[in-house]
Amino acid sequence: MKDSKNKLLHTAFELFALRGLDGVSTREIVKKAGCNIHAISYYFGGKEGLYKAVLDYVAECGKEESRAYLHFEDYCNALPSLDKKQSLDLLLRICDDLIDFGFANKNMYIGLMLTREEFAPSKYNKRFLEKLKSPMQGFITNCVAKITGLKEKEPENIFLCYMLMSQVLCFGRGKNFLLKFLNMKNIPPQTVNLVKQMVRINVKAILKEYIKEQ
């Protein structure tokens, strides 16, 4: 029984990520999962209950997977003693880590679900965002503030963080489109490295006006 529940959850996760709640039927989910038509009602109380469970799974899975790519504890310990230049180097390493996270095959559907809930939020969006909160967000605003000299919570610093992180995260969220556009099955390592180089150039250019001489 547990296997059936997990199959439904993982199958629905992929289908909802690709086409959303209204774009997927319960018959399609159970057929692809190889489960009985009544299994969704039995385990989740219906399609919306399954969607809600998928969002919970995405939030937890996203946090767990990010730990494998982001050396968050090491970054937190290092930041207080860093100067502006060193803080910028640390931010660039974080960007590299986030690109690796986004381009990892198993994380593609996480990116798609995040994008879907960002641009077409469901009624469970508020709960989803609460579960998704990460100390990494506060850490990045602190890191950027140290580089720029701006106050951590002032709007200009927040906008800068959003601008910087958006260009990094868009590659992971848009991976499915990129693969189709480039006619590839996977993003090769040399392409990942090229993206990292481009992002590093962009980040430095965006922050250039804010970085003052030591």
Q: What is the pLDDT of residues 20-70, one digit of tens each?
A: 899 999 999 999 999 988 999 999 999 999 999 999 988 887 777 677 677
Is there a domain that residue 15 lies in?
no
Q: Please give the average per-residue pLDDT across 142-160, as a whole number.
A: 92
Domain assignment of residue 113, given as a range: 60-210
Is there a domain that residue 147 lies in?
yes
Tally the domains of the chain. 1
Which amino acid appears at position 211 of this protein? I
Q: Tell me, what's the pLDDT at 106?
A: 67
Q: Is pLDDT larger for residue 10 or for residue 168?
A: 10
Is there a domain that residue 166 lies in?
yes
Whole-prediction pTM value?
Answer: 0.75
Q: Tell me, what's the pLDDT at 80?
A: 92
Is there a domain that residue 28 lies in?
no
CA distances from 192 to 53, 101, 208 (A): 32, 11, 24
Is there a domain that residue 148 lies in?
yes
Is there a domain that residue 116 lies in?
yes
Is there a domain that residue 21 lies in?
no
> What is the rounded CA–CA span in Å between residue 66 and residue 48?
27
> What is the rounded CA–CA span in Å between residue 193 and residue 115?
24
CATH number at residue 203: 1.10.357.10
Record the tokens describing residue 174, joined without a space. 């848009």
Q: Tell me, what's the pLDDT at 186?
A: 82
Q: Please give the average per-residue pLDDT across 120-137, as a whole number.
A: 82
Cβ count within 10 A of residue 167: 15
Is there a domain that residue 40 lies in?
no
pLDDT tens profile 79-116: 999 999 999 999 999 999 888 888 877 677 887 888 88
